[in-house]
Amino acid sequence: MCFLFVDRIVATIPGKLIRGVKHVTKDDDYLCYDTVGQIAFAPSLIGETLGQLAAWNVMAFHDFSLRPVAGIVASACLLRGVHPGETLLLESVIDELDDAVVRYHSIAKVGNEPVFIVDGAIGPLLPMTNFIDVDVVRRQFNEINRPGDWDVVVANASTPCSEKTRFFKNSYGSSPSTSRGLTSGSSNSLDSLPDPKVRPQDVNFRVLQFDHIVEVEPGVHWTAEKLVSRTAAYFPDHFPNNPVLPMTVLLEC
């Protein structure tokens, strides 16, 4: 189970700008129900994904000697949920960067529709070796750093397609006409594919939530408790040498 969410870095200007994508699928470990009962990617983790995107730019700019950690955010606004089958188009702009701190703002879109906006994010920079081995983080960066034409990526992510075609592409990584001998109109054509609707029993739920309600004063406040285990799935990535509870986990609770 992974707590790294950027699937691909598409374009970057060191110390200035970075763009990437996150594909939301039914195999994601951090899914939940949204306010209307649909399965969605955990909302606070869209913000986490944008923060990780900005961090990749900052770490590469400093040759992986420093890394940013969570500081403060002026505002973080969720505009709508993001569901399996959708691709997040991510952009982080570095407003200020030196050896001590980074300030940035970010946006996540589905197609041309903004779904999450972060403004006024500030994070202190600390030595990389406090958190993770430099060779490990370099390898992680190289695995996802696959530059390409951003306009093409946006166009592909925004192209309308039927639910079954979208399901096929997400599941098998290619179009139905070129994969596994499927041909239109045959008994093994697209029409014979499984129903693409994501069902709760098909999903790996890893809902981030509190463990106990301690006190409730109706209409005033709730007090709850979140128990933190050393074996929690996010600690191997956050961080190997210094496990820290992600701030976004608290926000999701």
Domains of the chain, residue spans? 8-156
The pLDDT assigned to 229 comes to 84
Reply yes or no: is the peptide bond before residue 239 cis, omega within 30 of 0.
yes
| Residue 147: half-sphere exposure toward Cβ, Cα within 13 Å | 4
Residues 6+ apart with CB under 8 A from 58: 15, 66, 67, 68, 94, 97, 102, 125
User: Would you state the pLDDT for residue 203?
Assistant: 61
d(CA 230, CA 66): 25
Report the pLDDT value the prediction gives residue 189, as an integer from 0 to 100. Answer: 41
Beta-strand pair 101-110/113-127: antiparallel
CATH class of 8-156: alpha beta
Identify whether the C-beta of residue 18 lies closer than 8 Å to the C-beta of residue 91.
yes
pLDDT tens profile 69-127: 988 999 999 999 999 999 999 999 999 999 999 999 999 999 999 999 999 999 999 99
Which residue ranges of the chain lie beneath pLDDT 70? 1, 159-207
Closest CA to 90 of 25, 6, 28: 6
Q: What's the confidence (pLDDT) of residue 160? A: 53
Q: What is the pLDDT of residue 158?
A: 73
Mean pLDDT of the chain: 84
The model's pTM: 0.80
